[in-house]
A and B are shown apart, each in its own frame.
Chain A
């Protein structure tokens, strides 16, 4: 079942056109139709099983589309020893599916052997920067390839932070040699929740480091009369995030963009329409620049 076809499965550079986040609900639609998307991105852990329907579906999807694997559970910034089994399964998934891109989050989710299974922000300190960079370098050595690191949405900042998030992200990329997956919605959410300027963030990220962009919807939540933006991935990309995406395209150029939608998952044509919108925006900016 898992033998590879060397012709269709060769790792290939990701197209600059927009991709769609793959959810199990859409496996059948993808396999029975031919959705309009340049590529798919799948959560690595959802395909860690030894076998079964999901693994089988992704093998077949991979034979038709370029693929990116995006991890949510590695706990990169944790001070615990590595979960070796998790790393092994990630390496196996990369061997099986031969993704064009592999990414993880700049966050932590475990300590003392206990897991929150959520993307927790790091304190932006020199200690955390050195630690995270070393961990990313270890993962890259183990996997034998570069990985991309994504900025997370966050609802809190630690008062021990001495660096801005963009200084921290840029610093980690410079020290570890990883690429950056810049999530535009996460910048927007964090900037609101912590009171900084999205454009300062974009300017703080080096041009050549960004290899992928993420777009998603968020929601708003009232707490004690204060408004926090929550990264739910359950709605269309909002106008302000599209605007920030334009600015990101101007700064970072032709970079593969992903539409993410992980809760209240709509029919796949809704995601195709969001991807079309990203492509149209990219084309119009490109035309102006040319």
Chain B
């Protein structure tokens, strides 16, 4: 009699590979549905496992599904599943590696933009599921002495995600999730994306960023203080720190700050 461990290992290998013959030897014959063979019975599970995985990818990447069509999506999803089986009891996580998988698959062809649309969809999903945070109270900020500004550490909203792409990925995504109507053709050369994605009152919000603003937010979210973030932003373009701060507080992208205990030491 096989140990529980070896039985589970053999069945899992069969379900993920589709090679059902060896595991079929573990399955009892019989039942009122008598003639359903052990391999057929395993196949019910094999099909469920795949269908659950692909359904989850579909719900994470509706725009990619629409762009490539159901047949191709399913084909790629099956290959992705074979190479990247689920590593969690929560199926929501299986899409994490899908944008990179698409990028490898379409590294050098006219579908190069697909991986960027997928990456945008994944960041949107992460943003929608992130923790809540109240907006920053400007009164509190006004209470800080101007000389201490440089050392402030601003905190961004947990739902903030930054996205850049050489393609107009946001327009492509919007055209493919907003309605069932056939989308207008979009020129892939219509402009690069440089975006902040966040969530306000449970809904996604997109903000177009300059290179400097992008660096500024990237710097803050990495833990740099205000002066370091301004310096990084200023290296990219003309950067107005005061305007950026006001904009990102109003957009609930910057939601908190802390004053270091020893500002002169940092």
Contact = CB atoms under 8 A, between A and B. Distances in A.
Interface of A: 1-2, 45, 48-53, 56, 72-75, 78-79, 83, 86, 89, 108-118, 120, 122-123, 125, 127-128, 131, 155-161, 192-195, 221, 223-230
A155 B85 contact: no
A49 B8 CA distance: 29
B140 interface: no
A1 B135 CA distance: 12
Interface string B19-50: 00000001111111111111011111100110
B258 interface: no
Contacts of B87: 113-115
Interface of B: 1-5, 7-9, 11-12, 15-16, 26-38, 40-45, 48-49, 52-53, 56, 85-92, 128-132, 158-159, 199, 202
B252 to A, nearest CB: 13
B33 A117 contact: no
Nearest to A156: B41
A45 B44 CA distance: 24
A223 B38 CA distance: 11
Contacts, number: 164
Given A108-B8, A110-B89, A194 B131 contact: no
A114 B128 contact: no
A83 B227 CA distance: 41
A244 to B, nearest CB: 16
Nearest to B129: A49
Contact of B31 (A52, A120, A160, A193): A193
B26 A53 contact: no
B89 A109 contact: yes
5 contacts: A120-B45, A193-B36, A195-B31, A224-B40, A228-B40
B54 to A, nearest CB: 11
A156 B16 contact: no
Contacts of A113: 87
A73 B202 CA distance: 26
A192 B7 contact: no
A45 B86 CA distance: 15
B11 A120 contact: yes
A47 to B, nearest CB: 10
Given A83-B88, A224-B35, 9 more contacts: A73-B89, A110-B12, A117-B52, A127-B4, A157-B28, A157-B31, A160-B26, A192-B33, A193-B33
B71 to A, nearest CB: 22
Contacts of B85: 114-115
B60 to A, nearest CB: 13
Given A113-B87, A125-B1, A158 B28 contact: yes
A86 B4 contact: no
Residue among B31, B38, B48, B159 with max Cβ neighbours from chain A (10 Å): B31
B68 to A, nearest CB: 23
